[in-house]
Structures are given as C-alpha cells and as structure tokens.
C-alpha cells in the first residue's frame, strides 16, 4: 500500500510540476513559499521526492535532511491555516520542487507546487548587479564634482569682477575730483595774465562751494 501511495505521489508530483509556481532566488537569500490549507493534524513540505519539513500538531517541527536550522512554519499554522514554508540562507542544493501537503499527504494546500531556482551568487554580482551600479555612482560623483568645480570657478570669477568693478569706482571717484582740479591747473600754469587769475580762482572756489555733486559723491563713496 505504501509503495502505491509513493508512486501515486510521484506521478502527482510530475503532473503538478507542469503548473508549478516558479520562484527565482540567489544563494544565501531567504524565501517564503505560501500555502494555505485546512488541517488540525499535520503539514508536510515535500522537496523533490524527500521532505523539507514535517510538523504534527502538538509535536515539534522536524526539518528534512539538509534543511536543519533553516526551515520553519508558523507555530499557530493549524489555527490560522497559514502553512507557508520559510527557508533561510538558501543553498544551491535547495533548488527543486516543493509541495505543500496536509493530513498525511492526502490533501494539497494552496498554492501547492513551487519550482525554486537558486542562482549562484557570483553569477549575479559579476554580470549585472554591482558593477553597473558602481559605474552609475562613479558617473554621478564625477558630474557632481564637475558642477562643484564650475560653481567655484564661477563664484571666484564673479568675485574678481566685482572687486575690479569696486576698485574702479573707488579709483574713478577721487580721479574725477583730481581732474576737476587739474582742469583748472593748466589755467594757472599757462602763465595767463595776473588779472585773469583772480576771477578764475574765485570761480573755482565758488564752484567747489556750490558743487553739491561732491557731497553726493562722498556718500556714494562711503556706501561703496
């Protein structure tokens, strides 16, 4: 009888793998294979033709060979009907077909069959994983560095231009007063007749007294 059961189970397994849910994982990752069922007796997770986990109500959770310390179901699964299997730290040898049964393998849980594929860790990281993201971060860092350099250059150029403009204004202000004085100077130097000097001096004095732009220039100067 047991042999017939086994053959029947194997045949069922072969048939059910056709519509098995495919799960892709990477070595050392964890996986949870969902399964709900109604049972207050036992649950068995089959792995290929062996057992991944067996748990009888009132008993202890028994891991299958090679799954010691890495498989679990919720302790209150008989109350909740949640018989999901969690496998931690996946090995490449965990790859295969998983099936969820209750009541001594007579009743299938839902979903029932999973086909787990465990990818090698090196394959993943070497091909696309870290290298692509590394290039991206390097490019982003270079772009950010360029932006910072451009900003620094721009700010310093603006600062130099601003200082130049300021010093030009500072120079031009006293220059104007000087030139206005020197404009009068040639008149002295030109050895013009003495009687012409007196009114010119008077004029220049009057001008400097009445010239209010002088005071306005001063206020601009202090403001600068």
Ligand X SMILES: *[C@@H]1O[C@H](CO)[C@@H](O)[C@H](O)[C@H]1NC(C)=O
Tell me which residues touch ligand X (CB under 6 A). Answer: 32, 34, 49-50, 74, 82, 84, 86
Helix 130-189 / helix 194-210 crossing angle, nearest 10 deg: 140
3-state SS of 81-98 is: CECCEEECCCCHHHCEEE
Nearer to ligand X, 50 or 213 (CB): 50
Closest CB 15 distance from ligand X, rounded Å: 17
Closest CB 43 distance from ligand X, rounded Å: 12
Closest CB 80 distance from ligand X, rounded Å: 7
Which phi and psi (to 5°) does residue 56 adopt? -105, 140
Nearer to ligand X, 34 or 214 (CB): 34
CB 35 within 8 A of CB 112: yes
Beta strands 107-119 and 21-26, pairing class:
parallel
Beta bridge partners of 42: 56
Tell me the C-alpha distance between 35 and 108, whole Å.
9
Closest CB 34 distance from ligand X, rounded Å: 6
Closest CB 21 distance from ligand X, rounded Å: 15
Nearer to ligand X, 68 or 76 (CB): 76
Nearer to ligand X, 23 or 187 (CB): 23
Nearer to ligand X, 62 or 124 (CB): 62
CA distances from 10 to 44, 97, 203 (A): 15, 12, 124
Nearer to ligand X, 84 or 107 (CB): 84
Closest CB 154 distance from ligand X, rounded Å: 54
Instruction: Reduce the DSSP state of residue 63 to 3 states and report it.
Output: strand
Closest Cα to residue 81, out of 20, 16, 34, 33?
Answer: 34
């Amino acid at each position: 009888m047991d042999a017939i059961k086994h053959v029947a189970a194997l045949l069922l397994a072969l048939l059910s793998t056709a519509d098995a849910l495919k799960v892709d994982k990477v070595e050392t990752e964890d996986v949870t294979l969902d399964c709900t069922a109604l049972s207050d007796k036992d649950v068995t997770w089959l792995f290929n033709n062996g057992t991944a986990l067996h748990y009888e109500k009132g008993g202890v959770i028994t891991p299958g060979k090679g799954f010691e310390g890495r498989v679990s179901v919720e302790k209150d699964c008989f109350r909740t009907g949640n018989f999901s299997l969690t496998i931690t730290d996946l090995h490449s040898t965990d790859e295969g077909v998983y099936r969820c049964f209750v009541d001594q393998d007579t009743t299938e849980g839902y979903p029932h069959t999973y086909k787990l594929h465990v990818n090698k860790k090196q394959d993943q990281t070497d091909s696309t994983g870290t290298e692509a993201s590394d290039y991206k971060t390097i490019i982003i860092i270079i772009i950010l560095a360029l932006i910072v350099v451009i900003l620094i250059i721009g700010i310093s150029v603006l600062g130099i231009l601003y200082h130049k403009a300021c010093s030009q204004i500072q120079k031009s202000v006293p220059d104007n007063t000087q030139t206005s004085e020197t404009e009068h100077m040639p008149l002295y130097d030109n050895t013009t007749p003495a009687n012409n000097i007196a009114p010119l001096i008077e004029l220049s004095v009057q001008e400097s007294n009445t010239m209010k732009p002088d005071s306005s220039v001063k206020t601009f100067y202090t403001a600068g």
